[in-house]
């Protein structure tokens, strides 16, 4: 305080939203800030030295200066307005020396303005929330799911058939394979299509909020809870579909609560007494290997069985490279609309490079590569030099193809291109992938990842550095 110039103190007090008056033990005014003086139509020179009762009607400052008992948030009428007053005794070295009083909002008009403003915001939120609830319709249909490869067509047909029944579905597949798109399409061709489709990203909602987000809460369930409580996403999804995305990222304790809701088909809002029945179809999705998580004890087996009634396992793009031309074509049409371009084409060299690439980010990666290309495109045709660096450089190795039976053994084969390269490069690729996946599984916890990989922590650090894994 010693370093603060006196004029500053004065100015700081003037900037506050509260007005201040200081009296001595006898109730004589020692200080009253300028705005306070203005408000009661007087000046500092006039009031300093006068008893407070003579200046402020109904003042109790002299009483507080005598009794030493603070008075908090008392309503005090001043100049025909009701103000909120706080009065504190000033105690120095154990003796009551005087009192300081504050009144909120020098200008009651301001208080009204604040209140109206906040009320307006609350009304807006209410309006948008109900509009959002009405708009929770899924947007995509099977028509938007592109792919002509036999594996993809078969999967799409299967998904169409099972849309009609009401079983829970688990959609698995690498990142960017179209899990969310499938979930949308299934809902849209089910009998629930006129009711809400409510996506929930279980990985994005903080653990401590997930329960109240899913099940809602009752009035006053916790500090900061909205008055009147809040509807949970399950209740909003009633008669429709809830899409539990990234379900592999849900904590074990939350998994138990979810399991109970699914088994009983009813929910209990946080802090609530009243159980609510729900009729909701569950579609869950994850890029994680849930079976493996069950084995390791990080995902509940009973919950796994409950959601995995039907499994839709979307093959990665590298297993259905025949889909690349059609997907590229349709994605370009979509991007043309977005960027106001027309008749954009792809050169044969680019398509060839697309066939060689392994697409770890799947369709999303393809979409990103094309979007970037269209952005930098000078002419009408996407050429190699329009691609990002990692795709631009011609690969030294060539590829060979192998035929594999599909996972579900539908007497179908997948043709995969495998790069011809030295064994040590293949090993490095596999090692890098394994480390990346393990780190994703442990949420970036290197110590845990090293343990699970059975290598020393230092060795993991070295490898991360070598493979440029963040
Ligand atoms: N078969 C497809 N046809 C057309 N577009 C697709 C197809 N598959 C994926 N896409 C597009 O790729 C992008 C990624 O799809 P989506 O978000 O459904 O993937 P995801 O599997 O949920 O990925 P993540 O695991 O990362 O959440 C979207 O823009 C989607 O429109
Ligand atoms: Mg997704």
Q: Do 388 and 452 fall into the same domain?
A: no
The whole-chain average pLDDT of the chain stands at: 86
Q: Collapsing DSSP states into helix, strand and coil, what is residue 295?
A: helix
Q: Does the pLDDT value for residue 85 go beyond 50?
A: yes
**Of 244, 278, 313, which marks where a domain is finished?**
313
Six-digit token pair at 391?
């795709």
Q: Across the beta sheet with 95-104, what order do the strands follow?
A: 29-32, 18-24, 95-104, 81-92, 71-78
Residue 215's pLDDT is: 92
What is the rounded CA–CA span in Å between residue 161 and residue 310? Answer: 11
Q: Does the pLDDT value for residue 75 go beyond 80?
A: no
CATH number of the structural domain spanning residue 56:
3.30.450.20
**Structural contact between residues 145 and 185, judged by C-beta atoms closer than 8 angstroms:** yes
Residue 290's pLDDT is: 93
pLDDT band at 298 (very low <50, low <70, confident <90, very high): very high
What residue owns the CA closest to ligand 1's atom 28?
A: 364
Averaged over 1-17, what is the pLDDT? 83
Of 22-31, 116-125, 200-209, 333-342, least confident by mean pLDDT is 116-125
Residue 109's pLDDT is: 66
Q: Do 145 and 288 fall into the same domain?
A: yes
The answer to the question of residue 454 being in a domain is: yes
Q: Collapsing DSSP states into helix, strand and coil, what is residue 374?
A: helix
Q: Do 352 and 336 fall into the same domain?
A: yes
What residue owns the CA closest to ligand 1's atom 23?
A: 176
Q: pLDDT tens digit string along 418-466?
A: 666 667 667 877 888 899 899 999 998 999 999 999 998 888 988 888 7
The answer to the question of residue 119 being in a domain is: no
The answer to the question of residue 205 being in a domain is: yes
| Host domain of residue 38 | 6-104
What proportions of the chain, in percent to the nearest 5, are helix, strand and coil? 45, 20, 35
Separation of CA 342 and ligand 2 centre (Å) = 30
Q: Do 162 and 296 fall into the same domain?
A: yes
Q: Does the pLDDT value for residue 141 go beyond 70?
A: yes
More confident: 347 or 75 = 347
Ligand nearest to the CA of 362: 1
**Structural contact between residues 33 and 19, judged by C-beta atoms closer than 8 angstroms:** yes
Separation of CA 28 and ligand 1 centre (Å) = 75
C-alpha to C-alpha distances, 251 to 140, 163, 293, 303, nearest whole angstrom: 30, 29, 12, 12
Run of H or E residues at 379 = none
Q: Do 178 and 290 fall into the same domain?
A: yes
Separation of CA 290 and ligand 2 centre (Å) = 16
Residues sharing a CB contact under 8 Å with residue 159, sequence separation 6 or more, in sequence order: 142, 182, 185, 186, 312
Q: Do 96 and 154 fall into the same domain?
A: no
Q: pLDDT tens digit string along 215-256?
A: 998 876 666 666 667 889 999 999 999 999 999 999 998 999
Residue 404's pLDDT is: 66
Q: Do 159 and 49 fall into the same domain?
A: no
pLDDT band at 354 (very low <50, low <70, confident <90, very high): very high
Share of the chain above pLDDT 90, in %: 51
Residue among 140, 181, 316 whose CB has most ligand 1 atoms within 8 A, to mutate: 181
Q: Do 294 and 329 fall into the same domain?
A: no
Averaged over 139-163, what is the pLDDT? 93
Of 32-41, 135-144, 191-200, 338-347, least confident by mean pLDDT is 135-144
Q: Does the pLDDT value for residue 370 go beyond 90?
A: yes
The answer to the question of residue 448 being in a domain is: yes
Residue 328's pLDDT is: 96
Q: Do 261 and 366 fall into the same domain?
A: no
Residue 107's pLDDT is: 57
Q: Do 255 and 339 fall into the same domain?
A: no
The answer to the question of residue 124 being in a domain is: no
CATH number of the structural domain spanning residue 290:
3.40.50.300
- Other Cβ atoms within 10 Å of 401 Cβ, number: 10
What is the rounded CA–CA span in Å between residue 200 and residue 61? Answer: 56
Averaged over 385-394, what is the pLDDT? 81
Q: Does the pLDDT value for residue 344 go beyond 80?
A: yes
Six-digit token pair at 57?
């009607």
Residues sharing a CB contact under 8 Å with residue 436, sequence separation 6 or more, in sequence order: 469
Q: Do 305 and 323 fall into the same domain?
A: no
Separation of CA 175 and ligand 2 centre (Å) = 7
Ligand nearest to the CA of 139: 1
Ligand nearest to the CA of 159: 1
**Structural contact between residues 321 and 167, judged by C-beta atoms closer than 8 angstroms:** no
Separation of CA 272 and ligand 2 centre (Å) = 32
Residue 149's pLDDT is: 92
Q: Does the pLDDT value for residue 470 go beyond 80?
A: no
Q: Do 167 and 60 fall into the same domain?
A: no
pLDDT band at 35 (very low <50, low <70, confident <90, very high): confident
Domain tally, the chain? 4
CATH number of the structural domain spanning residue 457:
1.10.10
Q: Residue 207 CA to chain centroid, in angstroms?
A: 11
The answer to the question of residue 355 being in a domain is: yes
The answer to the question of residue 298 being in a domain is: yes
**Of 295, 313, 331, which marks where a domain is finished?**
313
Residue 106's pLDDT is: 45
Q: Does the pLDDT value for residue 399 go beyond 50?
A: yes
Separation of CA 214 and ligand 1 centre (Å) = 24
Which ligand 1 atom is at minimum distance from the Cα of 286?
A: 25
Q: Does the pLDDT value for residue 417 go beyond 70?
A: no
Share of the chain above pLDDT 70, in %: 85
**Of 104, 122, 153, which marks where a domain is finished?**
104
- Other Cβ atoms within 10 Å of 421 Cβ, number: 15
The answer to the question of residue 129 being in a domain is: no
Pocket-forming residues, ligand 1, beta carbon under 6 Å = 145-147, 173, 175-181, 287, 363-364, 367
What residue owns the CA closest to ligand 1's atom 18?
A: 178
**Structural contact between residues 344 and 305, judged by C-beta atoms closer than 8 angstroms:** no
Residue with the two structure tokens 């300081």: 100
Residue 143's pLDDT is: 92
Residue among 155, 364, 367 whose CB has most ligand 1 atoms within 8 A, to mutate: 364
């Amino acid at each position: 305080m010693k370093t603060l110039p006196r004029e500053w103190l004065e100015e700081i007090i003037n900037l506050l939203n509260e007005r201040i008056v200081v009296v001595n033990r006898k109730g004589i005014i020692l200080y009253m800030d300028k705005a306070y003086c203005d408000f009661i139509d007087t000046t500092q020179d006039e009031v300093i030295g006068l008893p407070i009762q003579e200046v402020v009607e109904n003042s109790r400052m002299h009483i507080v200066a005598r009794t030493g008992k603070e008075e908090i948030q008392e309503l005090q009428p001043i100049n025909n307005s009701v103000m909120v007053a706080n009065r504190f005794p000033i105690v120095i070295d154990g003796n009551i020396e005087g009192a300081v009083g504050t009144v909120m909002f020098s200008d009651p008009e301001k208080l009204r303005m604040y209140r109206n403003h906040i009320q307006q915001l609350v009304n807006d939120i209410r309006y948008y929330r109900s509009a959002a609830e009405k708009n929770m319709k899924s947007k995509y249909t099977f028509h938007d799911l592109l792919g002509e490869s036999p594996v993809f067509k078969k999967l799409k047909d299967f998904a169409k058939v099972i849309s009609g029944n009401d079983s829970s579905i688990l959609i698995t597949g690498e990142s960017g394979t179209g899990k969310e798109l499938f979930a949308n399409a299934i809902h849209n061709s089910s009998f629930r299509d006129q009711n809400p489709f409510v996506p929930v990203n279980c990985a994005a909602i903080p653990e401590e909020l997930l329960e109240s987000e899913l099940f809602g809460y009752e009035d006053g369930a916790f500090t900061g809870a909205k008055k009147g409580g809040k509807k949970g996403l399950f209740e909003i999804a009633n008669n429709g579909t809830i899409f539990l995305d990234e379900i592999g990222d849900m904590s074990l304790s939350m998994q138990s609560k979810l399991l109970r809701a699914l088994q009983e088909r009813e929910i209990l809002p946080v802090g609530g007494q009243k159980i609510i029945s729900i009729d909701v179809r569950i579609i869950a999705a994850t890029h994680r290997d849930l079976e493996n998580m069950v084995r390791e004890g990080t995902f509940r087996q009973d919950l796994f069985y409950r959601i995995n009634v039907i499994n839709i396992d979307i093959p990665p793009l590298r297993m259905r490279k025949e889909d690349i031309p059609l997907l590229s074509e349709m994605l370009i049409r979509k991007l043309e609309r977005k960027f106001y371009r027309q008749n954009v084409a792809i050169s044969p060299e680019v398509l060839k490079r697309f066939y060689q690439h392994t697409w770890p980010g799947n369709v999303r990666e393809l979409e990103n590569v094309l979007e970037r290309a269209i952005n930098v495109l000078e002419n009408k045709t996407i050429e190699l030099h329009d691609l990002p660096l990692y795709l631009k450089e011609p690969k030294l190795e060539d590829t060979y193809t192998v035929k594999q039976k599909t996972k579900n053994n539908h007497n179908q084969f997948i043709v995969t291109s495998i790069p011809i390269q030295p064994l040590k490069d293949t090993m490095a690729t596999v090692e890098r992938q394994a480390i990346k996946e393990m780190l994703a599984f442990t949420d970036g916890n290197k110590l845990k990842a090293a343990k699970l990989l059975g290598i020393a922590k230092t060795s993991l650090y070295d490898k991360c550095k070598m493979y440029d894994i963040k």
